[in-house]
Structure 1
Amino acid sequence: MTKIWNESGFVTDDPWIIETEETKAGSNEKAILGLDDFLVKVSESDDTELGVLINPADDVRKLEGHLDRLALVAVAFPAFNDGRAFSHASLLRARLGFSREVRAVGDVLIDQIPLMLRCGIDSFAVTNATALKRLAENRLPGIDNHYQPTARPSEEVGSYSWRRRA
């Protein structure tokens, strides 16, 4: 079972559905399209409430020029050891200036969520039982020191994110 979580807690009325050959968004749902399908749809319609799924091998820069049409960008984590979605989220926030929702989907583990938040991901499609339990208990692991700047600046005075500017 997938639950959507953000820093306010679990979301009960999330309308977004990742469309596949077998799964299509219904009348009260919004579609998250693959990058190629999104680029076709954005050229054919004036819809401004679109969602796109960025897989690890996708070039997130292809969204440039279409960001005003996007309500949500889902970045895929197909396995816990594939971190390319961290880079996609950072590029979306820092270089492309995307300010709307960025969602992690796939293998979202509790230990990675603080790092995902720092990269600019602000919602999570969570299926992992341990992660769901810890989030329900409001037990998000912390990170004391940060050595690099990110999409979300460090709140801790003792952090070192000021040392390097990208």
Structure 2
Amino acid sequence: MTKIWNETGFVADDPWVVETEETSAGSNQKAILGLDAFLARVAGTEETGLGVLIQPADDVRRLEGHFDRLALVAVAFPAFNDGRAFSHASLLRTRLGFAGEVRAVGDVLIDQIPLMLRCGIDSFAVTNPTALKRLAENRLPGIDNHYQPTARPAAEAGSYSWRRRASPAA
């Protein structure tokens, strides 16, 4: 069973469903289309509020110029060891300036969620039983010190561990 989680908790009645050959959006649901299907749809309509699924091999830059039509970009994590969606989320937020919802779908594990949040992902389609249990208990793992800036600012903005100030001369 898939549950949607964000930093405020589990989301009830999420309307989004990944549209595949086996599934299609019902009357009260919104389809998350593959990249090519999304681009074909925006070429033929003026529809807004759409969702798109970015697979690891997709070029997220193809979405440029269409952000005003998007309500959600889902980035796929097909396996725990495939981190290309981290790069997709980071590009969407920092270089392309996408401000809408970015959702992680696929193999979302509890240990990766804090890093996904730092890359700009703000909602998660979670199926992993351990992740579901820990999120329900509000037990999100954390790392206090980070070596690089990301889409989400560090708690102490402008302060990175590799930058050392020289002591004033005494």
> Mapping of 1:44-59 within 5 angstroms?
44-59=44-59
Q: In 1, Cα distance between the equivalents of 2:66 and 2:157?
A: 37
1:161 to partner: Cα distance: 6.8
2:35 is equivalent to residue 35 of structure 1: yes
Q: For 1:136, give the aligned amino acid.
A: A
- Report the secondary structure of 1:86's partner residue: helix
Q: For 1:114, give the aligned amino acid.
A: P
Q: For 1:41, give the aligned amino acid.
A: R
**Aligned equivalent of 1:105:** 105
**Aligned equivalent of 1:6:** 6
**Aligned equivalent of 1:72:** 72
Q: Percent identity between the aligned chains?
A: 85
**Aligned equivalent of 2:90:** 90
- Report the secondary structure of 1:160's partner residue: coil
1:65 to partner: Cα distance: 0.5
**Larger displacement relative to structure 2 (153-162 or 89-98):** 153-162
Assess if the C-alpha contact under 8 Å between 1:144 and 1:159 holds in 2: no
Q: In 1, Cα distance between the equivalents of 2:48 and 2:162?
A: 36
**Aligned equivalent of 1:140:** 140
Q: For 1:141, give the aligned amino acid.
A: P
The CA RMSD over aligned residues, in Å, is 1.5
Assess if the C-alpha contact under 8 Å between 1:153 and 1:161 holds in 2: no
Q: For 2:46, give the aligned amino acid.
A: D
**Aligned equivalent of 2:160:** 160
Number of equivalent positions:
163
1:156 to partner: Cα distance: 4.0
Superposed CA offset, 1:106-145 (max 9, x none): 0000000000000000000000000000000000001110
Q: Which runs of 5+ in 1 are unaligned?
A: none
TM-score, L = length of structure 1: 0.95
TM-score, L = length of structure 2: 0.93
Q: In 1, Cα distance between the equivalents of 2:93 and 2:138?
A: 26
Seen in structure 2, the aligned counterparts of structure 1 residues 59 and 157 have a Cα distance that, compared at 3 Å, is: closer
Q: Which runs of 5+ in 2 are unaligned?
A: 164-170
**Aligned equivalent of 2:168:** none
